[in-house]
Structure 1
Amino acid sequence: MPAVAELLVGKGRCTAGRAANGLYGWRLKAVNGRVVGVSPAQYGTEEAALAACRRLSGEEVGRHARIAHVHEGVGWVWAVTKGEGRTLARSPRAYERYATCRKALGVFLALMEGEHGRRAGGPPGRLDTHFVDGRRAARGGGRAAAAGRVAAAPAPYGRCCRLGWFGRFGRCPMSAVTTESAGESAAAGSGPAAVGEKRPEALPPPRPAPAAPAAPAPPRRSSRGRRTTLGVAYGASLLGTLLLGFGAFLFTLSAFQEEHYQSTVHRSFAYDLGQATAPTGSAPDGDPVAVLDIPAIGLRDAIVVEGTTARDLMRGPGHRRDSALPGQTGAAVLFGRRTTFGGPFAHIDALRPGDHVQVATGQGRFVYVVDGLGTGSHPYRDASTNLLVLATADASWIPTDTVLVSAHLDGTPVPNPGGRPAVVPADKALAGQPDAVAPLQLWTLTLCGAVVLTVVATFRWRRSAAWLSLTPVLLALLWAVYENAAALLPNLY
């Protein structure tokens, strides 16, 4: 309808115009010129249309506003009705989403409330505002007054609309809104269709809501049982992950630890050999005492450390502390792991009589010749007195005995200074290290504390930054836990 007169109403501008049926209607525009509400063309003069808009701004419009869904798929429309379904204002178009239609109605009410707020004696924006689905009550009027207004207002919608179940059903199944303006627009060509906009269709008659059978609540015991089952499953998953990590440490990562130690001490011990300062008698536990070469099985430049406990053999082959050093008078005994931490003695059972074993100490370089193989339960009887015995586990999975390789010295032995310390139980073959239990408990508690700290940090800090900074700490603590757990296993494993 062409606008011929206008009037400032509330916070908006109301213009009146004549429609094709010869009657007049009004439009409410925002300050940016957008039409936010229209009326049906039902007034005889433009002054009457403007007066109707002015009267509407002086009323509590929110109490009479409703939102309806046009079931043919056009969308959502809002309307302000009074009396016996008489339409006073409506949306200028249909909206695809309920939230958009509700927002558009809120803009219309905000423009109309300025006039009502000034008449009521309060500042603009403090008037009572009602959204059509009853989910927001009046503000500033008290709960009791809001409840009374909501109860007094007509309720053409079912429970689903008031509870906001629009997304579940697509449209309100209990809707009984058939705005009179839709019929008038269809008959007289008034309303938004006359302005060249899309006009929503008439709403369908009310249909009863389908009664959904109430699902029986699950038994309380079943819920507890499910939580218990989930807790056990999570615990088992975590335990399985830790065990898999321990297996990866033993069979893969531990070799890097042994190789790191070997490469670190090789240069320093070579310097000690060159300066004739390498130990020739009793040495501190874990210090290098010899360099071992077994060409037949591909073992070259292996650093032999003093001691045969589980921790000593994590560094490489170990010399049993109560035996002579290689090359000295008497029997020298060297232990080595078969599977974990590089497995330097993994293939000594492949040695054959006549193979050579070369050992370098602070007293020189010596060559031993293999005589035979035996086991811990059936050792090889060697007649020579200057011997070298190599010992390792008999299996790569669950060792139950030892493999012994006996070799005699090819040459003249050097003197043995003696004064060797006695062995401890942890030095014996296939023995664990019981004193690793206390460090294992300490590192485990530290790891648990670090995990708790990491979880707290992810909530109080940026998650990516927390994981980036604390993950290396967790991995280092987990490595320490695995290393102490490995010390409890047999020393030749």
Structure 2
Amino acid sequence: MNARTLERAPSAPRAGRAPSQRPAGPALRATGAALSILAALLLGFVANLGPLGDLRHGRDQQVAHAALREQLANATAPVGPRTLEGEQLALGAPVGLLEIRTLGLREVIAEGTTSEVLTSAPGHRRDTVLPGQPGVSLVMGRQAAYGGPFAHLDELRAGDEITVTTGQGKHTYKVSGVRRAGDPQPPVLAAGAGRLTLITGAGRPFLPGGLLRVDADLVSAAQPAAAPLYSAGTLPGDEKPMAGMESAWLSLVLWGQLLLLAGAALAWVRARSGRREAWVIGVPVLGALGFVVADRAAELLPNLL
């Protein structure tokens, strides 16, 4: 073999060197981006309704406890649907401390019963009086998600004690019964009497098949009441039992678009820089956006979930 033949012969591949890979086509990149977005959404949704939601609920309760404790100490805690300045109470404002020793339950009650409010605390329904006042006071709470503060209401029995501390003092209730759909209604209240009704989902966790109610009669002295700003007919629909927040659609669409853009950017980075760089950048970004989108989507689900 002469020198010219050697020059034309193809060189053998070096040992240990992998052959070059062809870049992924547009279809493969789009598929990768779609799978990344789907994974981020599923992870965020499960974490949001599960462990991260529980942590969020615990943190929000700590903040609410501190705020309510300060208001009680300064005699500025709400005693009606308006603040001392005459303004309507904001959704999520702390209005009382609910304690059920039988269940080991100690939760701050917030104003309003939207899905967003109930992620942080049991909520006082705004078409009823505050706890401790004459009339029926309704408090709604989640059965399983975001800490599931009302998960064990079905374990209460007649005679169990419930206390609620508000700006008007500490109020004591005695449980009269637990009822589900089809059970008889409690008797009509006498003039000046008070009742607390706790409401949550009934059935399997995350798959409620109806409502569970716990009725408790006020056994301490009833305090003066201001008329609620809403009636059963004027209460916003997203504050009723098993309702979702229709207003969450707009923010869901906007955050969803941002998640789509992040997924497309991840596919571009992977094509230009490689898989490792794409995952280092993309995992925290997609994870955070997936959690936010899942949080907005959870607001569309029943508020007692």
Distance in 2 between the 1:489 and 1:453 partners? 30
Larger Rg: 1
* 2:226 aligned residue: 417
* 2:137 aligned residue: 332
TM-score normalized by structure 2? 0.81
CA contact (8 A) 2:255 2:293 kept: yes
Match of 1:358 among 159, 163, 167: 163
CA contact (8 A) 1:290 1:304 kept: yes
With over 3 angstroms needed to count, the CA separation of the structure-2 counterparts of 1:376 and 1:236, relative to structure 1, is farther
Alignment of 1:220-299 (within 5 A): 239=38, 242-243=41-42, 245-282=44-81, 283-299=89-105
Distance in 2 between the 1:232 and 1:459 partners? 13
With over 3 angstroms needed to count, the CA separation of the structure-2 counterparts of 1:242 and 1:359, relative to structure 1, is same
Q: Does 1:397 align with 2:209?
A: no
* 2:154 aligned residue: 349
In structure 2, what residue type is equivalent to 1:296? T
SS in 1 for 2:64: helix
Q: Does 1:475 align with 2:281?
A: no
* 1:428 aligned residue: 240
Deviations 1:390-437 (A, max 9, x none): 000002132121000000001110011114223111111111111111
Q: Does 1:386 align with 2:191?
A: no
* 1:375 aligned residue: 180
Distance in 2 between the 1:165 and 1:345 partners? 72
SS in 1 for 2:70: helix
With over 3 angstroms needed to count, the CA separation of the structure-2 counterparts of 1:435 and 1:377, relative to structure 1, is farther
Distance in 2 between the 1:439 and 1:377 partners? 38
In structure 2, what residue type is equivalent to 1:254? G
In structure 2, what residue type is equivalent to 1:291? L
With over 3 angstroms needed to count, the CA separation of the structure-2 counterparts of 1:376 and 1:334, relative to structure 1, is farther
SS in 2 for 1:393: strand
With over 3 angstroms needed to count, the CA separation of the structure-2 counterparts of 1:383 and 1:275, relative to structure 1, is same
Deviations 1:257-309 (A, max 9, x none): 11111112211210101111011111211111111111111112x11111111
Distance in 1 between the 2:98 and 2:200 partners? 15
CA contact (8 A) 2:128 2:228 kept: no
With over 3 angstroms needed to count, the CA separation of the structure-2 counterparts of 1:268 and 1:468, relative to structure 1, is farther
Match of 1:443 among 255, 272, 277: 255
CA contact (8 A) 1:369 1:410 kept: yes
SS in 1 for 2:108: strand
With over 3 angstroms needed to count, the CA separation of the structure-2 counterparts of 1:375 and 1:229, relative to structure 1, is farther
Distance in 1 between the 2:239 and 2:10 partners? 76
In structure 2, what residue type is equivalent to 1:276? A
**Aligned-residue RMSD, C-alpha:** 3.2
With over 3 angstroms needed to count, the CA separation of the structure-2 counterparts of 1:390 and 1:166, relative to structure 1, is closer
CA contact (8 A) 2:115 2:238 kept: yes
Distance in 2 between the 1:428 and 1:383 partners? 22
In structure 2, what residue type is equivalent to 1:366? H
Match of 1:407 among 216, 231, 247: 216
Deviations 1:343-391 (A, max 9, x none): 0000001000010111011111101100001124435413444100000
CA contact (8 A) 2:256 2:293 kept: yes
CA contact (8 A) 1:372 1:380 kept: no
CA contact (8 A) 1:373 1:379 kept: no
Where relative contact order (Cα < 8 A, 6+ residues apart) is larger, the structure is 2
Distance in 2 between the 1:255 and 1:382 partners? 37
With over 3 angstroms needed to count, the CA separation of the structure-2 counterparts of 1:263 and 1:131, relative to structure 1, is farther
Distance in 2 between the 1:240 and 1:380 partners? 46
CA contact (8 A) 2:92 2:117 kept: yes
* 1:15 aligned residue: none
SS in 1 for 2:177: strand
Distance in 2 between the 1:438 and 1:377 partners? 37
* 2:6 aligned residue: 132
Distance in 2 between the 1:430 and 1:247 partners? 20
In structure 1, what residue type is equivalent to 2:101? P
SS in 2 for 1:132: helix
Alpha-carbon distance, 1:65 to partner? 2.0
